[in-house]
Structure 1
């Protein structure tokens, strides 16, 4: 199955178009919608009452069958037009407390509060993202070839239909487990099953004890009818829900990361969701089963699928009532056509044959590439064995061999080779491009962010690339050991050829220290490991314009600290580059090419007398950068021709007037709250209560610390447009805040 690369470039404005449709429809929601949902709720209860009468009193030859089907339709209606939409808050702003999302109680075997956590906080934000969306395979089944294969999938063709055909309260347990996992709570814990146990007890008492006993001689009829009705209703509902994100016309994705734009978010929702074409034959039969329900104003039969057969609209407008979603179908079709996006539909009649075939094929560790021809696995036996080995240990395969779309966020990359430099003070790594990154380009001076697990901490650091993308089949970085450097020392000590590291995203080629065009007469000033981006620039000059009048002033502590010493001398020998090495300590007598000096205006004047007429590129420790800037300015260099890069974060501006303000910060998943002032970053607040947040540059650039914000305002929220995902490292509260931590 072919998958598009996430994301292709679509015309900007998709999110604005969706918002415009939403706001127009939302403005219409009022008494008419409230009257509609009241009528549907009353109809649902009328169906349930008639089901009870048939099972308890009989009176017709097919009373048990008809009663069980009506019970199933009651459950379907409770979930579709009613609960699914009410719990999304579709009627919260209207004047009827019964239909408020915090107060609605549905006749479904799942706790509504746990369902909201599972559905609102996990499924909708992460729709069809492998390893994140719990609804993708419902955490247990493999129904898309892009999902990782795990050992229990080998028998899924047997047990998945078996579960659907034998009511075991699985829907409620799935909801409870997903909610716990979403909130970071232990899944196998008594507290996780507490709410669901109450739901089970109430349902079992009502359906399997009280109502059958009240039925007297029809005890068995009522007991069987209730059980069959619950099983049919739950199974039918789950089939419809499963259809919407698991059919062959929808797509699955890797995690797009914190940089997913609103346009890309809506594109993913559209590509990951399908509506379904109803079966006229099935609908006709089901309607015949409702013929004896005594209700004066039954709504159109479409309400039994509310929000399910318009699921694409639902994922664009989740809190619109289902009748408004149906009104927008033609508008959404036109919107998809305008942006060259699919408007997915799938025949309901084809669902079960497709599902059975998919469960059978995906019981084997085939991915999207082998989906149509599983025998392709035999052509790559080593890869197949690795898939089996990871799946047998219930571990995700770091090579992501199943999903054809490339991973651009937290991509695993293989270390091809490593080399020690400067008497063991540094180590360089050649890193393979992750699968699908063949077209990624970057300029000399670019950097890449690396995510590393060190002990119990997740840390992100930025490393300049030693090469640009011209002809490069790999990335190359150099990491120097530093005192107390957790990441740098870990990489030097633990990472070797064949290991894998995590790249947070593609290289970053923006900023003042990126060489997009070759300068005529550059001066490079490097200190220590600051030679890495400078070397990529020098390599580019040597490849494209070796006669360029270029100068390198390289400062180190001693002669042993010089990194890439031999390559720099070779570059100087075959180009017009002058390399000047300076050390704090006296160099060995044999190294006549090294001077014991520190950076100064006099040094710059002596070795580069025309520096005021050149472009200066500086990458060094902060103190050296500051000195170089001052000396260059004194020598007449314009500020616009002084280029620098440093991964040392600038000081965050903390306004003094915020020191006396107090705001309540709530970390929802950790269930921790504390008061902070307006000068404390949210990252500092999290760390103060022991919450581990991945962090990197701590200036909002690498976005390693991006966190969902449920409510509240920070200084980053400008012009009233509040951000739903923020970098907590540089966010200061301006109101009470609730975070997804």
Structure 2
């Protein structure tokens, strides 16, 4: 992390606060209309996908229905659910778009998400030992964790996590690593587990029982389409999130260097621990604008569709203070994620020997 004096950190805080205040003062009809249009798009795609799915015995229709439903789930999870639950639209006073009442279309319970993501991850971003999102307790992604032979299989873990991402995120609050270490017992997690089974059960019933049953003559086709749509959503969501947090240039931090940090220091940590990727407006929509992860970590409660215009100002602040602004093409950023996963799966001695070749 870049070394800055308290005076410099205070100046950084002032500069970024000014950007935030400018956006807050401008919130209004433009933003409300935007999120309502996105909700309408999500619903149209979902209805279209559900209506087409029973005719999936025609291959092109099956593909179109599965893709439409998959896109619907992506938009609902990324641009609507994730951003609404950050409080980005609380000012609208719309119960259907309020952070404390929104329940999204995924296995993870909203209350659990608000704890593990909104509080833990955004407070302790990339602090090893505090941010449990870092590697999701499955992947070794820095030297802070000692290598173990099990890490040689972590690419398999990555593939499995991506494939079943909604379930991995849903179980994140279970804290399996703490149970393994004996710090907590399974009994301590029973209230959470009951909530997870209740929410996850509803999701599984909806996609894998209810909709196939109401289209019984073509139930296998509808079931396959729903599985495909969820797979599309899981793979895309996990890839976006990994590109925002685990690229080669994304920094990690120790608890000691973040102890008693000021708001300016928190800002600096968000800038150093986040990664952006470039793309079209449609790509940004599908990513929930987490393609601007730097801006999201700095301003998590500002409407995400504002991040593209905010980005230029954040880059100017970074340039002013000599802070690296981590961005690149989607292919480049995802490539560094895969290299990082592969590199830290190796024993340290071997990794250090071949690291220059993987750079």
Task: Say whether the fold is shared (TM-score over 0.5).
Answer: yes
In the superposition, the TM-score normalised over structure 2's length comes to 0.88
Partner of 2:231: 231
Aligned to 2:193: 193
The match for 1:342 among 308, 318, 324 is 324
For 1:32-71, what aligned pairs fall within 5 Å after superposition? 32-58=30-56, 60-71=58-69
Match of 2:106 among 108, 114, 137: 108
- Describe the superposition over 1:603-623 as per-residue Cα deviations: whole angstroms up to 9, x where unpaired: xxxxxxxxxxxxxxxxxxxxx
Q: Provide the residue aligned with 2:125 in structure 1.
A: 127
CA distance in 2, matches of 1:15, 1:375: 36
Q: 1:375 to 1:112 in 2, by over 3 A?
A: closer
**Preserved CA contact (<8 Å) 2:107 2:203:** yes
Q: Considering only aligned residues, what root-mean-square deviation do their CA atoms show, in Å? A: 2.6
Equivalence for 2:260: 259
CA distance in 1, matches of 2:225, 2:289: 27
Report the Cα offset of residue 41 of structure 1.
1.0
Task: Give the superposition deviation at 1:185.
Answer: 6.8
Q: 1:337, 1:58 → 2: CA distance?
A: 52
1:173 is matched with 171
Shift of 1:306: 2.5
Q: Is this contact kept in 2: 1:78–1:108, CA < 8 A? A: no
Partner of 1:694: none
Q: Is the 8 A contact 1:106 1:112 kept in 2?
A: yes
Specify the SS of the correspondent of 1:346. coil
Does residue 327 in structure 1 map to residue 297 in structure 2?
no
Query: Which is strand-richer, 1 or 2?
Result: 1
Task: List aligned pairs for 1:620-639, cutoff 5 A.
Answer: none
Alignment of 1:147-546 (within 5 A): 147-165=145-163, 169-177=167-175, 186=185, 189-255=189-255, 256-278=257-279, 302-366=284-348, 371-373=351-353
Alignment CA distance shift 1:375-1:308 (3 Å): closer
Structure 2 gap segments, 5+ residues each: none
Give the match's secondary structure for 2:277.
strand
1:84 counterpart SS class: helix
- Report the more deviating stretch, 254-263 or 113-122: 254-263
CA pair 176-25 structure 1, distance change in 2 beyond 3 A: farther
Cα distance, 1:359 vs structure 2: 2.6
Distance in 2 (CA, whole Å) between partners of 1:16 and 1:185 is: 41
**Alignment-derived partner of residue 17 in structure 1:** 15
2:151/2:345 contact within 8 Å kept: yes
Is the alpha carbon distance of 1:112 and 1:303 closer, same or farther for their aligned partners in structure 2, counting shifts above 3 Å? same
C-alpha contact (below 8 Å) 1:247/1:346 kept by paired residues: no
Over 3 Å counting, the alpha-carbon distance change for 1:339 and 1:35 in structure 2 is same
CA–CA distance in structure 2, aligned partners of residues 146 and 8 of structure 1: 23
Q: How many pairs does the alignment contain?
A: 348
Question: Structure 1: which 5+ residue stretches go unaligned?
Answer: 284-299, 377-741
Instruction: Give the Å deviation of 1:193.
Output: 1.1
Provide the rounded CA distance (Å) in 2 between the counterparts of 1:213 and 1:176.
32
Change (3 A) 1:186 1:270: farther
1:57–1:215 Cα contact (<8 Å) kept: no
Cα deviation, 1:544-570, whole Å, max 9, x if unaligned, reads xxxxxxxxxxxxxxxxxxxxxxxxxxx
Moved more, 249-258 or 96-105: 249-258
Describe the superposition over 1:76-100 as per-residue Cα deviations: whole angstroms up to 9, x where unpaired. Answer: 2112211111111111122312111
Report how far residue 267 of structure 1 moved: 0.9
Kindly state the Cα deviation for residue 173 of structure 1 after the two structures are TM-superposed. Answer: 1.0
Q: How does 1:686-725 map to 2 (within 5 A)?
A: none
1:684-709 deviations in Å (ceiling 9; x for gaps) = xxxxxxxxxxxxxxxxxxxxxxxxxx
8 Å CA contact 2:55–2:62 kept in 1: the answer is: no
Q: Which residue of 1 aligns with 2:142?
A: 144
- Cα pair 2:106 2:203 within 8 Å, conserved: no
What is the deviation of 1:159?
Answer: 3.0
**CA offsets per residue over residues 105-143 of structure 1, 9 Å max, x none?**
211221111001001221111111112111111121113
Compared with structure 1, are the counterparts of its residues 31 and 167 closer, same or farther at alpha carbon in structure 2 (3 Å cutoff)? closer
Instruction: Please list the CA deviations of residues 271-315 of structure 1 after superposition, one character each: whole Å capped at 9, or x if unmatched.
Output: 11011123x6xx9xxxxxxxxxxxxxxxx6632222311111111
What SS does the aligned partner of 1:275 have?
Answer: coil
Does structure 1 retain, via aligned residues, the 8 Å contact 2:237–2:287?
Answer: no
Please tell me whether the aligned partners of residues 155 and 341 of structure 2 are also in contact (alpha carbons under 8 angstroms): yes
Query: Greater CA radius of gyration, 1 or 2?
Result: 1
